[in-house]
Structure 1
C-alpha cells in the first residue's frame, strides 16, 4: 500500500510540474541554425602548410611537448610556440590545417584531423613540420559546435560531391 501511495503522489507531483500557471505555454528557446563551411577536397589537400606565426583568436586544445606548446586554432591549424623560457614564450610557426580541431603526438609524430581526414606529420624539426601521410575519411565529419539545426540546403545530400566540412558558421 505504501508503494502505491508513493507512486500516486509522485505521479501527481509530475503532472503538477508540467502544468503551466494560468494555462500560458512555456517560452520556447530557439534552436540555433548552422551552415557548414565547405572546401573542395583538392583545395583542402593543397592547403596544408607551415607558415610564419599567426595571431590567436579562436583557440582550442593545448598540447605540450617540451619545450614546445602546440595550440589548436579551431578549424584552421596549430600554433607552435617555443616555451623554453616560460616567462617569454616565442611563437615559432603556424601549421595550417583546414578543418583541424584535435591533435595527438607520439614521439616525433603529430596526428591531426583535417575535416574528415587524418594527417600524420614528422615534427622532429618543429619549425619545418612535414606532412607524411593523409588518410581520407578516417574520422567522422566535423560536428557542429553545439546542438543546432542545419538548413535543408546545407544537408549532406545537397552539398557538392567533393566538398569537405572544415568548420561551422552560426546563421
Structure 2
C-alpha cells in the first residue's frame, strides 16, 4: 500500500511540474533576424572562381590545416590560403574566390569546396596556382538561411529567376 501512495504522489508531482513548462509563452521568444538570399546567375557563378592576391580576413568560417598550409573559409566568398611553415610568422599566399563557399575538405592535393549548391574540386599541388579541375552542379543542398537551417518558401527555386543560385544570406 505504501508503494501505491508513493506512486500516486510521484505522479501528482510530475503532473504539477509539467504545468510549469507552460509558463513560458511562445510569443515571448526572441525573434530570429530576417534575411534575404544573395543570388547570382549560374553563368556568373561558374566564371567567378579565381585565384586572387591575399586579402584581409573578415567573416571567417571553417579552418583546414594541410601542412604547411592553412585554408580559412571566408563565409560565402572563398578560401584564404596561408603558408604556415613558420607558425610565428604565417604568410598569406592567395585568396581562392569561390562564391557561395562555406565548407572545405582535402584529400592529398585535392581540395573540395562548395559553391552554392555545386561541389568543386581543385588541384592544390601548387597552392599559389590552385586549379579548378571539376564542378558537379547541384551536388550539395542549397545554402539554407542562417539560424533556421531552412529555405523559406518565398525563396524556393520556383519563386526566383530560373538561373539564380543562392550564394549567401544578408541580414536585413
Common topology (TM > 0.5): yes
> TM-score, normalized by length of structure 2?
0.89
Q: 2:9 aligns with which of 2, 5, 12?
A: 5
Structure-2 separation of matches of 1:19 and 1:52? 56
- How many angstroms does 1:37 deviate by? 0.6
Structure-1 separation of matches of 2:92 and 2:122? 19
Specify the alignment match of 2:48 in structure 1: 47
Name the SS of the counterpart of 1:169 in structure 2: strand
Higher relative contact order (CA 8 A, sep 6+): 1
Does the aligned pair in 1 maintain the 2:145–2:151 contact within 8 Å?
A: no
1:117 aligns with 2:118: yes
Alpha carbons of 1:73 and 1:27: their partners in 2 closer, same or farther (altered >3 Å)? Answer: same
Alpha carbons of 1:143 and 1:4: their partners in 2 closer, same or farther (altered >3 Å)? Answer: same
Specify the alignment match of 2:68 in structure 1: 67
Q: Any unmatched runs of 5+ in structure 2?
A: none
Q: Any unmatched runs of 5+ in structure 1?
A: none
Which range is displaced more, 104-113 or 145-154?
A: 145-154
- How many angstroms does 1:12 deviate by? 1.7
Structure-1 separation of matches of 2:11 and 2:117? 49
Structure-1 separation of matches of 2:84 and 2:97? 20
- How many angstroms does 1:111 deviate by? 0.4
- How many angstroms does 1:100 deviate by? 0.4
> TM-score, normalized by length of structure 1?
0.89
- How many angstroms does 1:14 deviate by? 1.9
Does the aligned pair in 2 maintain the 1:36–1:166 contact within 8 Å?
A: yes
- How many angstroms does 1:157 deviate by? 2.8
Structure-1 separation of matches of 2:149 and 2:31? 9
1:146 aligns with 2:147: yes
